Amino acid sequence: MRDNNMKLIKPILKHPVIGWREWVGLPELGIEKIKAKIDTGARTSALHAFSLKPFVDKDGKHKITFEIHPFQHDTTKLITCTADITDKRPVTDSGGHTEERYVIMTPLTIAGQTWPIEITLTERETMLFRMLLGRSALRKRYIVNPARSFVTTRKIKEK
């Protein structure tokens, strides 16, 4: 395929297609399923987290424990997670507000594939999605079709 300038355009369908929202898992955090909004406008992924408690373990590693309600509109399901802290950095949200966030690295599972991604921790209680999956997590893996939802799984009940 060629564009108007006659340069060869690579076919984009060499990667599988996912929708604008998908069910994903974060197995090392004990989160079997969480509905994620695929957000190609966000560089880094973000996970709803509260009661953040950073600490240093006996080996001198910086870690964090936090809690999460994995399903929107449900505060009865509570998961306590522990992860290594890989960074703490300022993140600017879509409203232009900058917040200092802890960053963790943890495996993501989607469509039967698992690989490590970087996630920032932030309070998203009032947001529709407990997780945003940013473009760096999907780079060179998936094509996002904004007209589709739950391409990789049937719609799963949250409770």
Residue 2 has pLDDT above 50, yes or no: no
Dist. CA 127–CA 95, nearest whole Å: 13
Q: Where are the domains of the chain?
A: 14-145
Q: What is the average pLDDT score of the chain?
A: 88
Dist. CA 136–CA 139, nearest whole Å: 5
Q: What angle do CA 15, 154, 142 make, to 5 degrees?
A: 15
Residue 70: other Cβ atoms inside 10 A: 21
* The predicted structure's pLDDT at residue 11: 52
Residue 81 pairs with which residues in a beta bridge?
A: 66
Cβ neighbours of residue 96 under 8 Å, at least 6 residues apart? Answer: none
Dist. CA 40–CA 128, nearest whole Å: 17
- pLDDT tens-place string over residues 59-117: 999 999 999 998 888 889 999 999 999 999 999 877 888 999 999 999 999 988 999 99
CATH of 14-145, one of 2.40.70.10, 3.50.30.30, 3.20.20.120, 3.40.50.410: 2.40.70.10
Dist. CA 68–CA 62, nearest whole Å: 20
